[in-house]
C-alpha cells in the first residue's frame, strides 16, 4: 500500500516507520524543514528506543521517505494519516488548527479516492470537522472526489512505542462506510496474524475511546497517589496495599504504582481536553476527572514539600542531586514532567540543583534556559558531588540498583527522597540512609 503520514512527531514517525517495516511504501510529511533534514541525514528528532535503527533500515530499503512538499504528499498515499500535534489551548481544550490545516491540504491537492485517518488524539466530532474542511476545499476547486474519514486512535506508550504498534493489544477503527473498513483491515492485517485485534465502531465512539483510555489510566495513578499520601499518615505501606488490591483480577496490577505524579504529552493534555469537551459540548461537569487533575497537580509538589519539611522552607545554601528529568523512563520527553515542578520548587526556595538523566538533559536545557542554579552532570555518580541529599524523580533502570556505598560516601548526609519508590525501605535504612519515599 502507498501511505502518507502527515506529521513526524512520536505518533507520526513511529506509525510511518512501522507501516514501512511490514512492506508498505510510506511518505512522511512535515512542514518543519529542519526536522525533515535531520531525518534525511539519518538523525532522529526524538528519542524512542529502536526507532532510529528501524528508520534507517526502511529508508535504505526504499520503503520510507520524507518530504516537506505538501502536494507530493497529498498525491502519494491512498491512505492518509493525520498525525499532527493537538496541544492544549489556554482553556484546556485541544488546539485543532494543525489537524484542520492538514485536512485542507489534502482537499486542496487530492486527485483520487483517499482514506483520511485521524491518528492524532482529537476531541469527539473532529472527523466531522475534517470531512467539512476537505469538502470545502473540493468545493472551491469545483470538483467532486470521493473520500472517507476514519478515526484510528493511537495507543502508543513513549519508550515502548514500536512494540505497541507492531504487537497491538487492540486496533480501534471508527468509520461509517465499508470501503474504508476494508482498507483499514487490509492495512492492519500484518499486525494481527494470530488473532483479530481490530475493533470497528462508529467514529464518535472511536474518538471518545482514546480519551476514555487515558483518563482511566490517569485516574488509577491519582487514586494510588492519594492513597499513598494517606498511607504515610496512617503508618501503612502503599506497596503492601498495591499488592493486596492488585491481586484482585477485577483491579489488576497495572498503573497502581504510587509516585510523584504523571506527566508527558498525553495524560495531562487528554484529561484537560475531556473535561473541557464535556463542559462545552455536553454541559457536563466531570467531577471525577476534575479531581484526578487536581490531585496530580498537587502530587508534583510532594517531593518539594518533603524536602522543605526536612530542611526548612528556606533552602538557601542547600544543594541537591536530582536523578531523572524525563516524565518517564525511556524517553527524552519533558512535557508536563514532574522534574520541572521539583526543580522550580527547590530553586524558588533558594537551593541549587545538579541533575542527571540518560537522555533528557538537552531537552532540560531548553526548559530551563540560562538558569544559574541548575547544572548538569555527566553521570548519576557525578551528580552526587557536594549534594545534601539525592532526589529521584524518574524510574530509569540504571537508578534501580546503585552502589549504595559510593552513594553514601558522596552525599553530605545519607538522605534520599525517592519519588518513584525504587528501593526497599528496610534495606536502604539498614545501610544507614534516611529514606523518604511516597507512601512508605
In a 13 Å sphere around the CA of 187, the CA atoms on its Cβ side amount to 31
Residue positions annotated with a catalytic role: 266
Q: Is 419:399 a contact under the CB 8 Å cutoff?
A: no
Amino acid at each position: 500500500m502507498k501511505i502518507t503520514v502527515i506529521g513526524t512527531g512520536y505518533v507520526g514517525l513511529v506509525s510511518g516507520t512501522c507501516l514501512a517495516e511490514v512492506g508498505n511504501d510510506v511518505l512522511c510529511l512535515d512542514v518543519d524543514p529542519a526536522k525533515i533534514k535531520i531525518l534525511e541525514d539519518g538523525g532522529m528528532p526524538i528519542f524512542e528506543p529502536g526507532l532510529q535503527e528501524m528508520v534507517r533500515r526502511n529508508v535504505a530499503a526504499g520503503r520510507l521517505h520524507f518530504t516537506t512538499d505538501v502536494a507530493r504528499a497529498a498525491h502519494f498515499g491512498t491512505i492518509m494519516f493525520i498525525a499532527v500535534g493537538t496541544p492544549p489551548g489556554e482553556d484546556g481544550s485541544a488546539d485543532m488548527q494543525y489537524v484542520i490545516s492538514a485536512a485542507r491540504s489534502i482537499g486542496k491537492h487530492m486527485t483520487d479516492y483517499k482514506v483520511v485517518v485521524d491518528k492524532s488524539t482529537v476531541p469527539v466530532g473532529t472527523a466531522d470537522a475534517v470531512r467539512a474542511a476537505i469538502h470545502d476545499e473540493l468545493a472551491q476547486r469545483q470538483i467532486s472526489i470521493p473520500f472517507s474519514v476514519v478515526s484510528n486512535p493511537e495507543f502508543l506508550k513513549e519508550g515502548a512505542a514500536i512494540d505497541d504498534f507492531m504487537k497491538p493489544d487492540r486496533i480501534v477503527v471508527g468509520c461509517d462506510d465499508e470501503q474504508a473498513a476494508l482498507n483499514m483491515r487490509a492495512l492492519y492485517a500484518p499486525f494481527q496474524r494470530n488473532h483479530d485485534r481490530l475493533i470497528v465502531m462508529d467514529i464518535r465512539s472511536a474518538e471518545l475511546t482514546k480519551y476514555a483510555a487515558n483518563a482511566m489510566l490517569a485516574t488509577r495513578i491519582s487514586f494510588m497517589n492519594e492513597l499513598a499520601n494517606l498511607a504515610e499518615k496512617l503508618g501503612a505501606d502503599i506497596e503492601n496495599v498495591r499488592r493486596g488490591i492488585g491481586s484482585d483480577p477485577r483491579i489488576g496490577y497495572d498503573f497502581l504504582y504510587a509516585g510523584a505524579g504523571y506527566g508527558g504529552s498525553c495524560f495531562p493534555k487528554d484529561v484537560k481536553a475531556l473535561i473541557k469537551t464535556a463542559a462545552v459540548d455536553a454541559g457536563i461537569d466531570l467531577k471525577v476527572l476534575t479531581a484526578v487533575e487536581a490531585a496530580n497537580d498537587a502530587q508534583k509538589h510532594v517531593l518539594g514539600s518533603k524536602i522543605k519539611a526536612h530542611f526548612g522552607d528556606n533552602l538557601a545554601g542547600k544543594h541537591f542531586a536530582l536523578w531523572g528529568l524525563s516524565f518517564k523512563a525511556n524517553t527524552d520527553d519533558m512535557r508536563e514532567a514532574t522534574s520541572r515542578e521539583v526543580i522550580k520548587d527547590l530553586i524558588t526556595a533558594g537551593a541549587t540543583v545538579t541533575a542527571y538523566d540518560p537522555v533528557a538533559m538537552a531537552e532540560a536545557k531548553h526548559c530551563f534556559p540560562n538558569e544559574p542554579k541548575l547544572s548538569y552532570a555527566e553521570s548519576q555518580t557525578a551528580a552526587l558531588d557536594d549534594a545534601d541529599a539525592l532526589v529521584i524523580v524518574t524510574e530509569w533502570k540504571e537508578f534501580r540498583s546503585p552502589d549504595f556505598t559510593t552513594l553514601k560516601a558522596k552525599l553530605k548526609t545519607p538522605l534520599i527522597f525517592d519519588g518513584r519508590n525504587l528501593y526497599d525501605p528496610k534495606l536502604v535504612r539498614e545501610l544507614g540512609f534516611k529514606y523518604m519515599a511516597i507512601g512508605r
